[in-house]
Structure 1
Amino acid sequence: MAPRPLAIRPPERNLTIPLPTPSEKTAIYPQRERGRTVEQTHSRLMQLPLELRQMIYRAVLGDSTMHMILKRNKLGHLRCKAPSALECPLGYNGRTLSRECCWGTVDSANIWSPMSGNVDEPTDGNIIPFLQTCRQIYSESIDFLYSTNCFSFSDLDCLRYFSCTTLPARFALIQTLDIEWCMSWPIYDPIAQALLLSNPALYPPHDEATWEETWRIIADMPNLKFIRASLLYFDGFRDPGCEERMLAPLRKATTPKRFEVHVSWAGDEIEGAPFQLIRPIRHDPDFEDEEW
């Protein structure tokens, strides 16, 4: 189900300005012609100062939460309909994980399915046509798509695929990540995994290797400013040492100025981590307030 990695494109197909000069052409693609660029002097948009155009680009492309989703053999993205990521929680409808207020449901393989039932429903948020208008608009606006949006993931494979199907220079511009991951079984717990009676006990993307690779990718993102990771599991860790091994890959992500890790189970506080670990509020059963 994995999408194909980003293809190596010849320099003649670059969308951004300036285009390569004939002397920069490689001998590998001598038969290709350079893309044609037409001056946009008659465009009302291009007659505006660059500062005003950038404000328009950001309003069209940025300042939203982009839910990255897995489709069959490719990725998709949906602009969040909620005012913020906090108001668009990942829920369970008794059958599967869903964001019913926003984009629909996923199946057992985390493949997205829209509420309408139309699997061919477009998921580009009307962004792609704007970027394809002309090279100047693409060149001036593309950075806002990556640098000003929050990219939301609810599947580890989705993030890994996104990193290898996006130009490295674009992927490096991302500043905000929102990750929600439901663990199907405790990782780094050999006793719990022995109960599954299978070899290997855990399969991707629920295994330790996928977990570590995901956070290696995140740790290498140079411009991250905020990460919110919400880790969901129906029960707590049997051994605090297993939890520590599970959180160890997160310690490598030291770039963000703000890094929150929300977990759904109780436990002890940790020290010396680059993130703030937020556990559920404990309720004292011995405390009773007569006013309540």
Structure 2
Amino acid sequence: MRASSIALSVVCGPIVCFYVAFAACFCPARLHRHTESEEKKRFERRQKMAPKPLPIRPLERSLTLPMPSPVIDEKMAVLSPESRRGKSLHQTQSRLMRLPLELREMIWKAVVGDSTMHMILKENKLGHLRCKAPSAIECPLGFNGRTFSRECCWGNVDSANIWAPTSGIKEPTDGDIVPLLRSCRQIYSEAVNFLYTTNTFSFSDLDCLRYFSMTLLPHRFSLVQSLDLEWCMAWPIYDPVAQQLLLNNPALYPPNDEATWEETWRIIASMSNLKFIRASLLYFDGFRDPTCEEKMLAPLRKVTAPSKFEVHVSWHGEEIRGAPFQLIRPVERGEDSSDDEDWDV
């Protein structure tokens, strides 16, 4: 009986080993080819839906005051086409415009400022949703299995992170601000700065922040003072060994790749008027190699303008010293800690 068992093991052992090797080497590759295909489709759809960069505007179409002095054609005694394109009328008949400038600015700030603007990706353009919470810090933040989620404020997105409300209610994403700014040049000139200097701009997508910088005039974009960024980093960012195991080319598609991550922080570092940044970062299992974490944090070290820079992460690790930001890790759970306790953001 014992001899037959040994003979059976000798015969079946190589077969079992071959089966295990086959399953380990070939099946995951097949499964990952499917995942890669889905990632590629998602990337291509996002590229197709990307907003167009801001075109170069002629000087005569400037919306801000003061406008160039109108050019009079002495022969025809009428305004030339160039001056008509930039024609501006004084609003002396308006009671609103007869108010002192200080009172008007208080009105503009109340209408277009002092809020958190959740910036969202839409089809070929950006949109915004006013946060329903009193401040960005009080806006509830959670994880829905794919990425950070603030569905009470953000609404829903599809698999490509394109805004896709499913409630059936057409919630406005671009209202209450643009109509006022478009009403007249004087209001635009007096109010537009409050839009960028007094609001917190909140992003849950790296591409959304990049598009935001590309679709604004540079001097308007530089006025932003408060930024809130949430991002779920893809595995295995900054982990070359793990990326080789994926057998993908490329291993990570934008915006989950290292290049997009570094470009995002290069843009943020160029914002000279920033005073506050809060970055909430989620990584599914943390960085097993401290070197990989250091590479991930390296682009953040170039952001030196803000007086308050918080980086909240979802994984444990060592304390970071000499950085321009405060790295906030999850609190270590003691014996008396509740299982429902989550990391603080």
Q: What is the deviation of 1:107? A: 1.7
Q: What is the deviation of 1:116? A: 2.6
Letter of the 1:98 partner, please give it. S
The TM-score, its normalising length taken from structure 1, stands at 0.91
Q: 2:133 pairs with 82, 94, 113, which one?
A: 82
Letter of the 1:2 partner, please give it. A
Distance 1:239 1:217 in 2: 27
The alignment status of 1:210 with 2:260, answered yes or no, reads yes
Q: Contact (CA 8 Å) 1:17, 1:136: kept in 2 or not?
A: yes
Q: Contact (CA 8 Å) 1:96, 1:106: kept in 2 or not?
A: no
CA deviation string 1:203-243 (max 9, x = no partner)? 10000000000000000101000000000112110100000
Q: Contact (CA 8 Å) 2:233, 2:282: kept in 1 or not?
A: yes
Q: 1:225 pairs with 270, 275, 292, which one?
A: 275
Distance 2:98 2:166 in 1: 42
Distance 2:313 2:333 in 1: 16
Distance 1:117 1:99 in 2: 18
Name which of structure 1's ranges 191-200 and 224-233 shifts more when overlaid on structure 2.
Answer: 191-200
Letter of the 1:178 partner, please give it. D
What stretches of structure 1 move > 4 A for 4+ residues in a row?
A: 94-97
Letter of the 2:87 partner, please give it. R
The alignment status of 1:183 with 2:205, answered yes or no, reads no
Distance 2:321 2:191 in 1: 41
Distance 1:89 1:261 in 2: 17
Letter of the 1:208 partner, please give it. E
The alignment status of 1:92 with 2:143, answered yes or no, reads yes
Q: 1:168 pairs with 198, 218, 228, which one?
A: 218
CA deviation string 1:237-279 (max 9, x = no partner)? 0100000000000000000000000000000001100000000
Q: Which has the higher helix share?
A: 2
Partner of 2:153: 102
The alignment status of 1:7 with 2:55, answered yes or no, reads yes
Q: 1:255 pairs with 300, 305, 312, which one?
A: 305
Partner of 1:136: 186
The alignment status of 1:195 with 2:245, answered yes or no, reads yes
Q: Contact (CA 8 Å) 1:54, 1:141: kept in 2 or not?
A: yes
Partner of 1:26: none
Percent identity of paired positions between Structure 1 and Structure 2: 75
Partner of 1:114: 165
Q: Contact (CA 8 Å) 2:65, 2:185: kept in 1 or not?
A: yes
Q: What is the deviation of 1:93? A: 3.8
Q: What is the deviation of 1:94? A: 5.1
Q: What is the deviation of 1:31? A: 5.5
Q: What is the deviation of 1:72? A: 1.0
The TM-score, its normalising length taken from structure 2, stands at 0.77
Q: What is the deviation of 1:117? A: 3.8
Q: What is the deviation of 1:121? A: 4.7
- Three-state SS of the structure 2 residue aligned to 1:105 is coil
Distance 1:16 1:209 in 2: 36
Letter of the 1:39 partner, please give it. H
Q: 1:146 pairs with 190, 196, 205, which one?
A: 196
Partner of 1:46: 97
Distance 1:284 1:224 in 2: 37
Higher gyration radius (CA): 2
CA deviation string 1:53-92 (max 9, x = no partner)? 1111100110100000000111111111111112223433
Distance 2:154 2:225 in 1: 23
Q: What is the deviation of 1:98? A: 3.3
How large is the RMSD of aligned CA atoms in angstroms?
1.9
Distance 1:234 1:212 in 2: 20
- Three-state SS of the structure 2 residue aligned to 1:199 is coil
Name which of structure 1's ranges 100-109 and 224-233 shifts more when overlaid on structure 2.
Answer: 100-109
Name which of structure 1's ranges 188-197 and 267-276 shifts more when overlaid on structure 2.
Answer: 188-197
Q: What is the deviation of 1:21? A: 3.5
Distance 1:95 1:246 in 2: 20
Q: 1:69 pairs with 110, 114, 120, which one?
A: 120
Structure 1 segment 237-256 matched on structure 2, within 5 A: 237-256=287-306
Count, aligned residues: 280
Letter of the 2:133 partner, please give it. A
Change beyond 3 A, Cα 1:9–1:34 = same
Partner of 1:27: none
Change beyond 3 A, Cα 1:151–1:122 = same
